[in-house]
Structure 1
Amino acid sequence: MTDATWKDWLLSDAPRSRGQARLAGLYQGWLKLSRNWMAMVGLGILVVLVMVAMFAPLLAPHDPFAQDLLLRLKPIGFEDHLLGTDSLGRDILSRLIYGSRITLYIVALVTLIAPVVGLLVGTVAGYLGGFVDATLMRITDVFLAFPRLVLALAFVAALGAGIENAVLAISLTAWPPYARMARAETLTIRNSDFIAAIRLQGAGPLRILVKHIWPLCLSSLIVRITLDMAGIILAAAGLGFLGLGAQPPSPEWGAMISEGRRFILDHWWVATLPGLAIFTVSLAFNLLGDGLRDVLDPKDGGSQ
Structure 2
Amino acid sequence: MNNIPQFYQQRRIPSSAARWWKNFTDNKLATSALLLLSLIILIAIFSPFIAPYDPTLQSADYLLPPSWYEDGTSAHIFGTDALGRDLFSRLAHGAGLSLKLATFVVAIAASVGIFLGSLTALSNQFVDQITIRIMDLVLALPSLLLAVVIVAIIGPGLPNAIYAVAIVLIPHFVLVTRSAIKNEVNKEYVTAMILDGSGKIRLFCKSIFPNILPPLIVQLTLAFSTAILEIAALGFLGLGAQAPHPEWGTILSESHNNIVNAPWTVTLPGLAIFFTLLSINLVGDGLRDAMDLGN
| TM more than 0.5 | yes
User: Where do 1:269-288 residues align within 5 Å?
Assistant: 269-288=264-283
- How many residue pairs match? The answer is 282
Contact 1:49/1:100 (8 A) holds in 2: yes
Mapped pair 1:139 → 2:129: no
Q: How far apart are the structure 1 equivalents of 2:54 and 2:102?
A: 24
Q: 1:71 aligns with which of 47, 61, 72?
A: 61
CA RMSD of superposed structures (Å): 1.7
Contact 2:121/2:178 (8 A) holds in 1: yes
Contact 1:41/1:287 (8 A) holds in 2: no
More off after superposition, 263-272 vs 205-214: 205-214
Mark the runs of 5 or more structure 2 residues left unpaired by the alignment: 1-8
2:163 corresponds in structure 1 to 168
1:12 corresponds in structure 2 to 12
Q: Which has the higher helix share?
A: 1
TM-score scaled by length of structure 2: 0.91
2:124 corresponds in structure 1 to 129
Contact 1:223/1:296 (8 A) holds in 2: no
Aligned-partner residue type, residue 173 of structure 1: V
Rg larger in 1 or in 2? 2
Q: How far apart are the structure 1 equivalents of 2:52 and 2:251?
A: 18
Q: 1:182 aligns with which of 177, 185, 188?
A: 177
* Alpha-carbon offset, residue 200 of structure 1: 1.9
Q: 1:93 aligns with which of 71, 77, 88?
A: 88
TM-score scaled by length of structure 1: 0.88
Q: How far apart are the structure 2 equivalents of 1:38 and 1:164?
A: 36
User: Is the partner of 1:124 in helix, strand or coil?
Assistant: helix
Aligned-partner residue type, residue 165 of structure 2: I
1:29 corresponds in structure 2 to 20
Q: Percent identity?
A: 39
More off after superposition, 266-275 vs 49-58: 49-58
* Alpha-carbon offset, residue 123 of structure 1: 2.4
* Alpha-carbon offset, residue 49 of structure 1: 1.4
Q: How far apart are the structure 2 equivalents of 1:164 and 1:42?
A: 30
Q: How far apart are the structure 1 equivalents of 2:139 and 2:202?
A: 30
2:31 corresponds in structure 1 to 40
Mapped pair 1:243 → 2:234: no
More off after superposition, 278-287 vs 28-37: 28-37
* Alpha-carbon offset, residue 159 of structure 1: 2.3
Mark the runs of 5 or more structure 1 residues left unpaired by the alignment: 1-7, 14-20
Contact 1:113/1:171 (8 A) holds in 2: yes
Aligned-partner residue type, residue 53 of structure 1: A
* Alpha-carbon offset, residue 129 of structure 1: 3.2
Q: How far apart are the structure 2 equivalents of 1:60 and 1:234?
A: 23
